[in-house]
Amino acid sequence: MKGYGPPFYVAEAFRGLRANSLVNLLAVGTITMAMLIVGVFLLVFLNLRGTVGEMSSRLEISVYLKDGITLQEREFLQARLKTEPGVRKVAFLPRAEALAIFRKELSGQESLLEGLGENPLPDSFEVGLDLKPGDAGRIESLADKFSSLPGVEDVSYGKQGAETVAVLFSLVLYGGVALAALLGVTVVFIISNSVRLALYSRGQEIELMQWIGATRGFIRGPFLFEGMMIAMLGSALGVVVLAAVFHALPRGAVVLFSRPYGLEFLSPAAIAGLIFGGGALGLTGAFISVEKFLE
């Protein structure tokens, strides 16, 4: 005769969940909290990654030209800049236009420019870059290269900004991974304890099942499903709470990430990852307890 397979184990797992409802409820609650913390970090990480990506794509190097450069030299330099890998666009900015932009940026404080007399700004090329997040080193090497080209007076780029974003990105990435690992172990531990309690409360039944010819798989199956279901339920509730908090946040809070369309919630793939990842951790915790018990 064949075994019953997953439908039987799921039905038995539900029976077990009902039998130890209080313990399981506590486990679900604890996992909800743990997964909520993981979810917050994931949310911050994914948004920050998006922000860094956008900032990187918006990064520009200003290449200032020497006075008296000929048109031919300027066109040659523009063509040369365009050939560089990682360069998305090269736009010429005449000194008069640069001053106009500067005036606009100083809107309300134009008096600062009154004593300048002649336009002090040089002609320049605005070199748009197309780099990956955390590629701050690449910007620096490009800037160095551009500064040595003939006809170039100086270069400038948002060095500090690029570096800060890269550091922040690494911090969230590594901190998030470390915290997720820690909380993952916590989830395994919680499920392991919860399943252990269920095992002890049904110890007599398990012993009897062994006496009457039950295989380890038959005994193990319902407990594995039970652990997995508790963890998945806890994870799903964690996502629900996170969504509720996210939508209750004042819109001003999203300025932190300075994305044009604001803070984004977790993608369906990330939500599925959280729930199924939680399920896998629950399965691991349950497996550890059942194996130890059956030994």
Partner 1 sequence: MIQLYKVTKQYEGVPALRDVSFAVDKGEFVFVTGPSGAGKTTLLKILFCAERADEGQIIIQGVNVFRIDRSGIPYLRRNMGFVFQDYKLLPHKTVFENIALALKVVGAPYGDIERKAYQVLKKVGLEAKRHLTPPKLSGGEQQRVAVARALVNEPRVLLADEPTGNLDPQSGQEIFRMFREVNLKGTTVIVATHDWETVRKMQRRIITMERGRVTDDGMSQRSRDAAPPPAPGTVSRP
Binding site for partner 1 (CB under 8 A): 1-4, 8, 204-205, 208-216, 218
CB of 210 to partner 1, least distance (A): 7
For partner 1, the closer of residues 67 and 295 by Cβ is 295
CB of 218 to partner 1, least distance (A): 6
For partner 1, the closer of residues 7 and 260 by Cβ is 7
Burial of 152 (0-12, 13-18, 19+ CB in 10 A): buried
CB of 283 to partner 1, least distance (A): 21
CB of 11 to partner 1, least distance (A): 11
For partner 1, the closer of residues 102 and 218 by Cβ is 218
d(C-alpha 280, C-alpha 277), whole Å: 5
For partner 1, the closer of residues 5 and 268 by Cβ is 5
| Beta carbons within 10 angstroms of residue 195's beta carbon | 28
CB of 16 to partner 1, least distance (A): 13
* Distance between start and end Cα atoms, the chain: 26
d(C-alpha 131, C-alpha 230), whole Å: 43
CB of 289 to partner 1, least distance (A): 19
Look-up of token digits 């500067």: 102
CB of 1 to partner 1, least distance (A): 4
Give phi and psi for 238, each to the nearest 5: -60, -45
For partner 1, the closer of residues 4 and 174 by Cβ is 4
Please report how many Cα atoms fall inside a 13 Å half-sphere around the Cα of residue 221, on the Cβ side.
Answer: 17
For partner 1, the closer of residues 3 and 161 by Cβ is 3
CB of 7 to partner 1, least distance (A): 10
d(C-alpha 225, C-alpha 72), whole Å: 74
Among 213, 197, 157, residue whose Cα is nearest residue 285: 197
**Integer CA distances (angstroms), 189 to 186, 193, 217, 250, 283, in order:** 5, 6, 22, 36, 11
For partner 1, the closer of residues 169 and 223 by Cβ is 223
User: Which residue type sits at 92?
Assistant: F
CB burial readout 218-246, b (16+ within 10 A) else e: bbbbbbbbbbbbbbbbbbbbbbeebeeeb
d(C-alpha 190, C-alpha 234), whole Å: 11
For partner 1, the closer of residues 83 and 204 by Cβ is 204
